[in-house]
Amino acid sequence: MRQSQSPVRYRDAYAAPVPSPDDEVSDATRSGHAEGAEMLCELAEKLMRSGYEPQARLLWQQARADYPDDVWIYVQAGIGYGNIGDHATAWNG
């Protein structure tokens, strides 16, 4: 007789674990995004998508303060804020 396995619940089968901010930093630096505005934006985007909005906002602020003339930062921050429904911040940067 075949031994039955415990059933896998829908939530358990499809829910992805939420990575920690430290994991996101490690992933970004391992993938080559190790400098400047690009790294800050990459990390902020990953944190925002992972549910770490307060930490992501701090990184966007840091990127804008450190690289105020880099238009790309404002575009990426606008997209990030727009994706979470914060259209006022997305528009005003």
pLDDT one-digit tens code per residue, 25-81: 666 555 554 467 888 888 888 888 888 889 998 988 898 898 888 888 888 888 888
What value does the mean pLDDT take over residues 13-20? 59
Note the helical H segments in the chain: 10-14, 21-30, 36-49, 53-66, 71-83, 87-92
pTM confidence score: 0.58
pLDDT of residue 89: 84
* Top-confidence residue, 5 or 50: 50
pLDDT of residue 7: 47
Separation CA 48–CA 81 (nearest Å): 8
Phi, psi of 64, rounded to the nearest 5 degrees: -65, -35
